[in-house]
Amino acid sequence: MSNIRVDLKRTTDRSYTIFIQKEATLELPSYLKKHKVGEKYAIITDDKTQKLFGNALLRYLRKHHVQAEIITFEEGEKSKRLSVVESLAEKMVEKEFTRKDAIIALGGGVVGDIAGFLASIYFRGIPYIQIPTTLLAMVDSSIGGKTGVDMRCGKNLIGTTTQPIAVFIDTNYLKTLPVKQIRNGLAEIIKYGIIADQKLFKFIEQNLNKIFAHEEKAINYIIKRSVEIKVKIIEEDEKEKGKRMLLNYGHTYGHALELLSGYTLLHGYAISIGMVIINDIAIKKKLLKKAEAERIKKLLKNTELPTTTMRTPTLKDIASDKKREGDYINLVFPTKIGHAIILKEKL
């Protein structure tokens, strides 16, 4: 018998920069030219974001002599399907995009997940840049390289971990965001405070009015601090083998609630309920004091996020979650505001 070893040991630098400022996208043409990300760019966005920001971005890039085309799909979580990714890929082929080109993901979390996944598989992988337009996407899905689509039996069950080349967080986009979408993003920001930073949690408690009024200093602080927390965790655990699981606090039950609602429940709203459910379990396990859980629930209520559900997901409902390992599932429990732990629970 002959043995031939395939030696592929190598290190690849996947580092990238996250730009956070008003009008950050104005710097995009010079960045693309300087770093030669692609020869041509496919702006992947949904039909709603196309009208709000997509057409303007396309004109701006072309004005600065950057070759670009815009490709859209129907807005909403219902579009996170393999069939939509295939349709987008076919449109890219029709427009003659090659492996020397790149994708710009412009939109919320659904756009970022779909565009990032498409970039990771198109011609076996091309570069992509994230431009999140919602608060939720700015602090969560645009960072860390998670991409993917849903299946009928669960959320984000097909995907890759593929880091973007850069992330441009342009806080100007928040000016047109409906208040329900600010709440949607705040659920994730509150999550960061609970798992990693009591100071951030307290800041939100004391500055809700400023946040909802789009006061620049308050908005910049909660975005920057959330990004810092997520980046630190990802740097330690890119592939979610350990510490990155902390980011799933509230998500196992939250994802089940999204599925049960037919994805009519906003992600942040589902996570809000999911955090309350897991807090109640933590109290029963004597991991979390009731006073801490009540403080968390009070902030969620003050943010006007939901904290109850007509039907609490069962163990069967969460069994298809991607964090399952055999007969066990990893759950994140807060032990106090600012700290959380990961425990394996039997299904």
Q: Which residues are catalytic?
A: 124, 146, 188, 230, 240, 244, 248, 251, 255, 267
The Cα angle at residue 266 between residues 236 and 313, in degrees rounded to 5: 80
d(CA 73, CA 259): 21
d(CA 200, CA 176): 25
Query: Inter-axis angle of helices 267-284 and 290-302, to 10 degrees?
Result: 160
CB 315 within 8 A of CB 322: no
d(CA 303, CA 268): 11
Query: Counting beta carbons within 10 angstroms of the beta carbon of residue 221, is it exposed (0 to 12), middle (13 to 18) or buried (19 or more)?
Result: middle
Within 10 Å of residue 290's Cβ, how many Cβ atoms? 11
Which of these, 303, 232, 237, 223, lies nearest to 271 by C-alpha position?
303
Write the DSSP symbol of residue 248.
G
CB 113 within 8 A of CB 147: yes
Residue with structure tokens 């860390």? 144
Phi first, then psi: give them for residue 187, nearest 5 degrees: -60, -45
d(CA 184, CA 165): 26
Cα-Cα-Cα-Cα dihedral sign, residues 96, 101, 103, 104: negative
Phi first, then psi: give them for residue 145, nearest 5 degrees: 85, 5
Contacts of 311 (CB under 8 A, 6+ apart): 260
DSSP for 204-226, please give it.
HHHHHHHHHTT-HHHHHHHHHHH
